[in-house]
Amino acid sequence: MTYCVGLLLDAGIVLLSDTRTNAGLDNIATYRKMFVFEEPGDRVITILTAGSLSVTQTTMARLREIADDPDSTPETSIMKAETMLKVADIVGAKLAEVRKDVGQKLSMLQGASASMIVAGQRKGGAMRMFLVYPEGNYIEATEDTPFLQIGEHKYGKPILDRVVNSATSLKDAQKAVLLSMDSTLRSNLSVGMPLDLAIIERDACQVTKRRRIEAGDEAFRAMSDAWSNALRDGFSQIEL
């Protein structure tokens, strides 16, 4: 019931999430799935969430509480961790802990599951991006695989496979993630507007562009229509 995507490029990081949480055909709600922790010039950490809302909200609340605690340590706070790898360790451990707690209370661990994309940069370090699994383990985006997805990812993956590589510009990357989301919106009703877009330029150590795209956004609709027309034109020109 969500779609989030992150691109790790030479020029920076591009992140996009939807906001729909659907508990049934007659119970649709909107919740933010993109969370930003930053100390401009020193570090920026962005977390995208998918899965059980109780797990993701509790995990984010605990991470925020620790980050705001002046007595926290580099071993427990993502805002004091010395590397992005350590940030991924902290997020993974907290996600696994919350998943276990919520699962025990619900007596159905199988249903209390969530995953996260953790991306950012610390001053003096490299930009890094990780996909954190419900169990707390993770994989990292690389030059060979410069994008990560969580949620309903299958509809938006083909365009990313075809057009995105580490040298893709931030402008083209924005277009790619938005068209990836557009394909998902058209094919799956459990993913919905509004959308949250964030861009982190290399070495800026802060979010350099942030935008919420509401339903009915003229620019997004124009892009969607142009893509549909381009696909139809391309299809008609192919000869068998």
Q: Where are the beta strands (DSSP E) in 52-173?
A: 114-122, 128-132, 138-140, 147-151
> What angle (nearest 5°) sits at the alpha carbon of residue 214, between those of residues 223 and 113?
105
Give pLDDT, residue 108: 54
Give pLDDT, residue 107: 62
196 or 30, which is more confident? 196
99, 134 contact by CB (below 8 A): yes
| Average pLDDT of every residue of the chain | 93
Q: How confident is the model at residue 42 (pLDDT cuts 50, 70, 90)?
A: very high
Paired tokens of 80: 């004091």
Residue 23 clears pLDDT 60, i.e. is over it: no
Q: What is the 3-state secondary structure (H, E, C) of 165-221?
A: CCCCCHHHHHHHHHHHHHHHHHHCCCCCCCEEEEEEECCCCCCCEEEEECCCCHHHH
Contacts of range 52-57, beta carbons closer than 8 Å, 24 or more positions apart: 52/99, 52/102, 52/111, 52/112, 52/113, 52/114, 53/21, 54/102, 54/112, 55/95, 55/98, 55/99, 55/102, 55/112, 55/113, 55/114, 55/134, 56/114, 56/116, 57/31
Indicate the pTM of the whole model.
Answer: 0.95
Give pLDDT, residue 106: 65
For 102-156, the pLDDT digits (tens) are 877 766 545 678 999 999 999 999 999 999 999 999 999 999 999 999 999 999 9
